Amino acid sequence: MRTHEINRRLAAKDFHVTVLTTRYPGWKERVEDGVHYVPIGFGTGGNRLTRLVAYVVRLPFEVHKRRAATELVVEDFFAPFSTMAAPLWTKRPTIGVVQWLHAKDKARQYKLPLHWIERLGVRRHRRLISVSQGISDRLKELNPALHVDIIGNGVDPGIWNTQPRHGNDVLFVGRLEYEYKGLDLLLEAWAKACRRVDGNLLIAGKGPDEKRVRASIQDAGLSERVQFLGWLSGDKKFGAISGARLMVVPSRHETFGLVAIDALAAGTPVIAFDIPCLREVVPRGTGWLVEPFDVKALEEEIVRRYQQEGLEHVAARGREFAADYNWDALADLQAGAYNTALGELNEPRPKRQWALSPERA
């Protein structure tokens, strides 16, 4: 979403943008909102693993084919290893956009040294764009010589057409990843909190762990107090968010926290764990942060804020804060970062920038 929202605005400013993507079932090359999308790889893209491998194999070749007509290459970091160290092989000025930096977690999941690939790749970049200060700090730990521009994500303009309703239910919106998104912690907290509040827990989204989430709900005897909404978009998504009493974001890790910003824009107060990135987008007065991964604290906060009077004042402050996350303004910032990068990256790299501090343990 971020890639498209930024790029379609750049296309309107006469940037010529080509996006190389993985293939997917029913894939086709197309131009959408002035942005040229080219799915690359082999076959139909029906298998997640094979389409990732095919993309990685084809990407350097496809970039090389377009090199003569390309002024700037933008490497958008992606799972599972973040970066392919694009500056090593593009042979063109290259800047990275970092929406994802969780290779260490994926390394534990898959028992592969993916975080070493991430470290190597970050060290090969000179300029990056990060969506949050928390991610910027981590990038500079990996490569102190980096220049990082912090340009966040934006709120869908359609959400401003909603009005807060402060309904009866508590809402989770996101990819259904059981541990990464903290659904295990939320369900454990909800098992006790639901005895003290009137509404239900609504879960909106899809993901690889949906069966596991459903099984956990059934095992805990929560089937009557938890409802699945499936994948929501557009007005259905806006309506669900604006109609909730509280939004809970129980993630163990986040790079930005767009769901939290969407909730604030809709006038729905947010409860989240006090972790980097989320604390940037849930300031005091717009929601509440609790001790990271403390299930008891999460339970008590849900009950306390559910029963709190005057939520309309919290909603008003949240909407005021979220107004700064405007896609038009963010696209202008990204255009400026690209133009600056072109000027700098076309110059020879100073030798002193290769002098890196010792690695952290």
| Chain-centre distance for alpha carbon 53 | 22
User: Which residues, in sequence order, are CB contacts of 143 under 8 Å at separation 6+?
Assistant: 122, 123, 125, 356
The terminus-to-terminus CA distance of the chain in angstroms comes to 35
Tens-digit pLDDT string for the chain (361 aa): 899 999 999 999 999 999 999 999 999 999 999 999 999 999 999 998 999 999 999 999 999 999 999 999 999 999 899 999 999 999 999 999 999 888 888 888 889 999 999 999 999 999 999 999 999 999 999 999 999 999 999 998 889 999 888 899 999 999 999 999 999 999 999 999 999 999 999 999 999 999 999 999 999 999 999 999 999 999 999 999 999 999 999 999 888 999 999 999 999 999 999 999 999 999 999 999 999 999 999 999 999 999 999 999 999 999 999 999 999 999 999 999 999 999 988 766 554 333 333 333 2
CA–CA dist 164, 161 (Å, integer): 10
User: Which residues, in sequence order, are CB contacts of 151 under 8 Å at separation 6+?
Assistant: 129, 130, 131, 330, 333, 334, 337
User: Which residues, in sequence order, are CB contacts of 115 under 8 Å at separation 6+?
Assistant: 81, 103, 104, 106, 107
Give the domain 2-155+329-354 fold. Rossmann fold (3.40.50)
Domain ranges of the chain: 2-155+329-354, 157-322
Residue 214 burial class via C-beta count within 10 angstroms: exposed 0-12, middle 13-18, buried 19 and up: middle
- Dihedral sign (CA 4, 6, 8, 11): negative
Q: How many CB atoms lie within 10 A of CB 48?
A: 11
How would you list the strands of the sheet with 170-173, edge to edge?
226-230, 201-204, 170-173, 246-249, 270-273, 287-290
Q: Which tokens is 215 given? A: 């099984």
Same fold, 2-155+329-354 and 157-322: yes
Residue 197 burial class via C-beta count within 10 angstroms: exposed 0-12, middle 13-18, buried 19 and up: buried
Give the domain 157-322 fold. Rossmann fold (3.40.50)
In the beta sheet, which residues pair with residue 248?
271
